[in-house]
């Protein structure tokens, strides 16, 4: 059996964590879902900077990495329900994929303004305060 794909997200971002937890609860994907901060990103073939910028779907069997809206499309395609898988395939096709990428980028850039987001979400990971910094 092939290894399950991995969905990496920003575990420091409340909005991202809530969105991923909701997606996992509703979709129950056949994937390993983990914050990038707890993953060996280099071994997975990605950088911390990219993982901090967008959700990533990593196909371990092939090493192919999909980011942002493309990652969301792959997540949907792993659902057990045919209608959700079809929605994921549609999300991957132009012109829907073009719109999805624009919407994803707008959400990602403004995630600190969304419910659950914090000012720290707008900072690169290496500049975010840590609990030992008194934050």
d(CA 97, CA 89): 10
Instruction: Give residue 1's pLDDT band: very low, low, confident or very high (50, 70, 90).
Output: very low
Tell me the pLDDT tens digit for each residue of 90-117.
999 999 999 999 999 999 988 888 876 6
Poorest-confidence range of 88-92, 120-124, 125-129? 125-129
d(CA 34, CA 6): 7
d(CA 71, CA 119): 25
d(CA 54, CA 93): 19
Tell me the pLDDT tens digit for each residue of 75-87.
999 999 999 999 9
What are the structural domain ranges in the chain?
A: 6-125
Query: If residue 19 lies in a helix (H) or strand (E), which one and from where to where?
Result: helix 14-27
Residues of 58-76 as b/e, b for ≥16 C-beta within 10 angstroms? bbeeeeebbbbbbbbbbbb
d(CA 79, CA 27): 6
| Closest by CA position to 48, among listed 128, 124, 131 | 124
**What pTM did the predictor assign?**
0.84
How far CA 128 is from CA of 52, 68, 96, 102, 133, in Å, comes to 11, 21, 34, 26, 10
Q: Is-contact 44 8, C-beta < 8 A?
A: yes
State the average pLDDT for the chain: 87
Q: Is-contact 119 135, C-beta < 8 A?
A: no
E strands, the chain, where?
6-9, 32-35, 56-59, 64-67
Over 60: is that where the pLDDT of 52 sits? yes
């Amino acid at each position: 059996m092939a290894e399950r794909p991995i969905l990496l997200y920003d575990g420091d971002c409340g909005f991202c964590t809530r969105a991923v937890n909701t997606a996992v609860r509703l979709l129950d994907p056949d994937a390993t879902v983990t914050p990038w901060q707890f993953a060996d990103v280099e071994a997975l073939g990605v950088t911390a900077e990219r993982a901090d910028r967008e959700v990533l779907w990593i196909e371990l069997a092939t090493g192919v990495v999909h980011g942002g809206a493309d990652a969301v499309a792959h997540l949907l395609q792993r659902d057990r329900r045919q209608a959700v898988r079809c929605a994921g395939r549609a999300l991957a096709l132009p012109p829907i994929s073009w719109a999805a990428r624009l919407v994803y980028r707008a959400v990602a850039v403004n995630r600190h303004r969304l419910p659950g987001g914090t000012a720290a979400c707008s900072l690169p990971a290496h500049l975010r305060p840590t609990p030992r910094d008194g934050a």
